[in-house]
Structure 1
Amino acid sequence: MPQEIERKFLVTDESYRRMAHKKSRIEQGYICSARGKTVRIRIRDDKGYITIKGPSNASGTSRYEWEQEIPLNDAEELMALCEPGRIEKVRYLVDFSGHTFEVDEFHGENEGLTVAEVELGSEAEAVELPAFIGEEVTGQTKYYNSFLMKQPYTMWE
């Protein structure tokens, strides 16, 4: 069973932009966003994807994840079936000390939020953090994209 093991952090400055080797535009919606199981449709630049995620473990670092590329026109049609709310973001890829950090700069209703994730081979794997990394928010559901779709960052108190 495919597992996603990752840690998530808030970002403290924009130095990741200079460090990035790639960036892409992402729009995504959710066909199902129930706690513990999500079905996501994503358009990343000119490609479409469907992703199914299961519940996170107790620490929030690991969960089942299955993703498949689908034709762009299928992804565009499936977006019409999604629940209300969309996630719009630009993702920057930053290689640092043997790991790739995915830095998501949110737009739309989540404007002002920037989060970095790093995927790991195991929960015990050590990772050196770049200077732009701030507070760790791994396992805090309010930072999950499926939550941000329902409770956007701009509406937080």
Structure 2
Amino acid sequence: MAKEVERKFLVKSQGWRGSAEATLPMRQFYLAATPGRSLRVRIIDGREAWLTMKFGTHARTRDEFEYSIPLEDAEELCGFAIGHVIDKTRHHVSHHGYVYEVDVFEGHLAGLVIAELETPDHVGDAALPHWLGREVTGESEFYNASLATGLPLGAA
């Protein structure tokens, strides 16, 4: 089991684009989501798939179990998705020794851009990139499970 420790931010400008080091198209969907727990399938670049279970309601830290699954299984499981399938492109952006994952959403979420910083370190506001906007860590409406289902699911 791993602990996921992350902060989430809305992105207020395109200032990150020049520093993007990797770009990965993703499709993800939820098979189950309730307050404090979720079961997600993610297909990355149409080449690999992961099954992820998350547990916990703390805004920054959750238990996470993640397993590689056959791509064919993931595609079949999509037929059991609850809510919307999320299409997004993830960009890895380095800033002051940290990698920010900037997700640019498509489809029904087009226009939404969220950055995540996964680290147990305390990163002070002065060390954050200028292109980050309001911090939304712990705001349930910005968790992917909530975005997919339209339901306030806490930190699921």
TM-score normalised by structure 1 residue count: 0.89
5+ long unaligned stretches in structure 2: 152-156
5+ long unaligned stretches in structure 1: 153-157
Deviant stretches of 4+, over 6 Å: none
Q: Hey, what's the Cα distance between the residues in 2 that align with 1:70 and 1:89?
A: 20
The residue aligned with 1:23 is 23
The reply to whether residue 135 of structure 1 matches residue 134 of structure 2 is yes
Q: Hey, what's the Cα distance between the residues in 2 that align with 1:18 and 1:76?
A: 33
* Secondary structure class of the residue paired with 1:15: coil
* Secondary structure class of the residue paired with 2:146: helix
Structure 1 residue 16 displacement after superposition: 1.5
The residue aligned with 2:62 is 63
Q: Given residue 101 of structure 1, which amino acid in structure 2 is its aligned partner?
A: Y
Structure 1, 78-87 or 26-35: larger mean CA deviation: 78-87
Which deviations, in whole Å up to 9, do the C-alpha atoms of 1:110-145 show, x marking residues without a partner? Answer: 1111000000135xx225211111110000000001
Structure 1 residue 69 displacement after superposition: 1.4
The residue aligned with 2:13 is 13
Asked if 1 retains the 8 angstrom alpha-carbon contact of 2:82 and 2:149, the reply is no
Summarize the alignment of residues 1-157 of structure 1 with structure 2, pairs less than 5 Å apart.
1-45=1-45, 46-57=47-58, 60-122=59-121, 125-126=122-123, 128-151=127-150
Asked if 2 retains the 8 angstrom alpha-carbon contact of 1:16 and 1:92, the reply is no
Q: Given residue 71 of structure 1, which amino acid in structure 2 is its aligned partner?
A: P
**Percent of matched pairs sharing the same residue:** 37
The residue aligned with 1:155 is none
Q: Given residue 42 of structure 1, which amino acid in structure 2 is its aligned partner?
A: R
Which deviations, in whole Å up to 9, do the C-alpha atoms of 1:37-57 show, x marking residues without a partner? Answer: 100011010110100000221
**Equivalenced residues, count:** 148
* Secondary structure class of the residue paired with 1:84: strand
TM-score normalised by structure 2 residue count: 0.90
